[in-house]
Structures are given as structure tokens and as C-alpha cells.
Amino acid sequence: MDSGNHQIPENANEHCPGSQSEEAGKADACAGCPNQQICATAPKGPDPDLVTIAERMATIKHKILVLSGKGGVGKSTFAAQLSFALAEMDSQVGLLDIDICGPSIPKMLGLEGQDIHQSNLGWSPVYVESNLGVMSIGFMLPNPDEAVIWRGPRKNGLIKQFLKDVDWGELDYLVVDAPPGTSDEHISIVQFLQATGIVGAIIVTTPQQVSLIDVRKEISFCKKVGIQVLGIVENMSELRQSISDFRFVKSTESGHENDVTEWALSYIRSNAPELLSVISCCEVFDSSRGGAAKMCAEMRVPFLGKVPMDPHLCRAVEEGRSCFTDQKCTVSAPALRTIIEKLVSSCQ
């Protein structure tokens, strides 16, 4: 609903001044409104840069946000592997890392130490392959150990510059890896991109309640700002590992541990070789309350699937490789591929 040129959220208080009003989040009518903080921190009034952003984004067909309620759930890992998968489907793909305080994407795509180059068309992405380009503040830091200590306006200004000045060319997909939570960066990326058309958001979580509580807030955020939730991905749903990849230890009476891996594997080969092809499954996080699938049913958002914890995927991420070309990622790659195929179908 609109009031003049000032957009009013559906669940706003009576006499709402509108989310684009200078009084948004500050007026007496805003007290107690669930949108108060978002409206108070969002940019106000017409922004001339939005026209430039719209022109730059016009050559990008699908813009997808990858979000998480909290850190450490594998959001950037999913964004990186999603980008690899889309590129391997012969799509033109861009990956934009706006996790300004924790830019891990350069490492996850094997691009550490790369620099951004400028041309008369703007900043050029750093390319993994000819059809997979990446942009991140990580490319701008002289020292990867340097902390980025910026206030909101400066972070928002960089996000705008990424959208306005990066020459992506024609893309089928732009994957945006956002920081965890619902911070200024989220409000900015939505504000800057909304007029250009965002396909929607994927939210990554782990199964336990402490993570799902924050995912509910992320879903609420998306609904408030008008972003479709494309689905929830439950990461680290359980540990799955081949017996042959296990390390075995034996405790001594003094409390020390001895590595007995060679002895154990030799014993299995001799006495039960069929066990070497067995996958061991172990629940790492408590999912007794139904995990992400149950939460999706309650909140009426799509559940895209589960990705097990896979040491080979962790190794591929550390080395900046695609799990889909790694013959050892037999547990995680099929699960990720099924999820990504669902996602691509929903974007058609």
C-alpha cells in the first residue's frame, strides 16, 4: 500500500508516514511498529545513483541473494558452490561478495591475491573461468589479515559502488553473498536492487534450534521488504564419511591417544572388507524438533533440501575448487546438485 510517494508496509502501524519519508522510523506513529528499525536506517528520498544501478543491472537476468540468520552455517560455501554449478551449466555467472567484514569468497574460489582492474567501462570482475566472475572487498585489502572496521554509511557506499561500477556484462545469474543477520548491508542491497528485480533469496541454516530461531527472523525480514524466499537449505544436516576416510585413535591409561588408523584399516580389509564401501552417518547438530523442514512447513516457505557435512567438500572449499569436479565429494555434490536443479527450475 502507498501513501503518496511513500511506501507503507502491509503490517505498519496506523498513521504510518511511509518507509521513504524523512520521518520513517522516527515519528510518534512508528513507536512499537515491527518495521521501525528497518525504516529508520533505510536510505530516504530519491537516489540518483539508482538510475545508474538499474542501467548496469539491466544486462543481468536473475539476481539471487544468499542469506543466513547467523554466521558459521556455510552460507558462503553454498554461494561459492552454487556459482560453480551454474557456471558448469554453461550459464554466465557473477558472484558478488558483500560480506564486507568477513570476505571469504576469494579464498573459496581460489582467487586470493588477485587485484581488481579498471577499464573505461568500470571495475572488471576477477574471473575464475570465462563465464564466472567474482567481485569482493577481499580483492581490495592490502593484507588479508587486516580487519575492516567501517561504519554503516561507508559499507553501504561500497555496496552501491559494486552495483554501480562493476562491469559484469551480460549475465544469466548474479549470486549475492550477504553477511549473516539483517544488518544495514541487507537493507542497502534490497533498496538498491529492488527496482531492478530480485528473483529472491536462499537462506542457509543448520538443523538446530539456535540457528532456526535466527532463520525465522531472516524470513520475516524478506517478507517485510518484499523479497521472495526461494527456499531454505539445511546445511551440515549430518556427518557422512566413508569408513576408509576415518582416523582411528586408542586412548592409553595415561590419557594419551595413539593413532591406530593403519592397524584398524588393515584389520577391516582382512576381516570385513565390505565395510570399506559403507558410509558412516552421524548427527552433529540436534534435529529432534524437525529441523529446517518442519520450520518451512510452519512458515510456508519452500524447503530445498539437506546438505550433509562432508570433509571432502570442506577440503575443496579450502582449496578454492568446485565440489562437482572432485571425484571424492560423493556425499555432498549430489545433494547440492539436487538443490541447485530445484532452484534453477524455480527461476525459469
159 and 210, same domain (yes or no): yes
Domain end, chosen from 252, 282, 312, is at 282
The Cβ of residue 345 has, within 10 Å, a number of other Cβ atoms equal to 8
Q: Is 16 annotated as a binding residue?
A: yes
314 and 218, same domain (yes or no): yes
221 and 245, same domain (yes or no): no
Q: Is 101 annotated as a binding residue?
A: no
39 and 133, same domain (yes or no): no
Residue 5's pLDDT is 40
- Give the pLDDT band (50/70/90) at residue 347: confident
Q: Is 39 annotated as a binding residue?
A: yes
> Helix, strand, coil shares of the chain as percentages rounded to 5?
40, 20, 40
- 94: CB partners within 8 A, 6+ apart: 60, 125, 132, 133, 134, 135, 168, 171, 173, 174, 175
Domain ranges, residue 38: 1-45
Domain end, chosen from 266, 282, 298, is at 282
Q: Is 71 annotated as a binding residue?
A: yes
31-45, 222-236, 326-340: least confident range: 31-45
The alpha carbon of residue 47 and the mean position of all alpha carbons in its chain are separated, in whole angstroms, by: 27
Taking a C-beta distance cutoff of 8 angstroms, is the pair 235, 78 a contact? yes
Residue 323's pLDDT is 96
pLDDT at 298 over 90: yes
Amino acid at 231: G
Phi, psi of 121, deg, nearest 5: -95, -10
215 and 333, same domain (yes or no): yes
Instruction: For residues 225 and 67, give the distance between their C-alpha atoms in angstroms, rounded to a whole number.
Output: 14
Residue 326's pLDDT is 87
Q: Is 76 annotated as a binding residue?
A: yes
Residue 9's pLDDT is 66
Q: Is 72 annotated as a binding residue?
A: yes
210 and 321, same domain (yes or no): yes
201 and 64, same domain (yes or no): yes
Q: Is 33 annotated as a binding residue?
A: yes
Q: Is 148 annotated as a binding residue?
A: no
Domain count within the chain: 3
12 and 150, same domain (yes or no): no
144 and 33, same domain (yes or no): no
Domain end, chosen from 13, 28, 45, is at 45
78 and 177, same domain (yes or no): yes
Residue 176's pLDDT is 96
- Give the pLDDT band (50/70/90) at residue 2: very low
Residue 249's pLDDT is 95
70 and 117, same domain (yes or no): yes
C-alpha grid cell, residue 105: 569468497
Tens-digit pLDDT profile for residues 216-272: 999 999 998 889 999 999 999 999 998 988 999 999 888 889 999 999 999 999 999
178 and 314, same domain (yes or no): yes
Mean local confidence (pLDDT), 109-127: 91
9-23, 157-171, 198-212, 225-239: least confident range: 9-23
Q: Is 30 annotated as a binding residue?
A: yes
- Give the pLDDT band (50/70/90) at residue 45: low
Instruction: For residues 335 and 330, give the distance between their C-alpha atoms in angstroms, rounded to a whole number.
Output: 9
56-65, 175-184, 224-233, 338-347: least confident range: 175-184
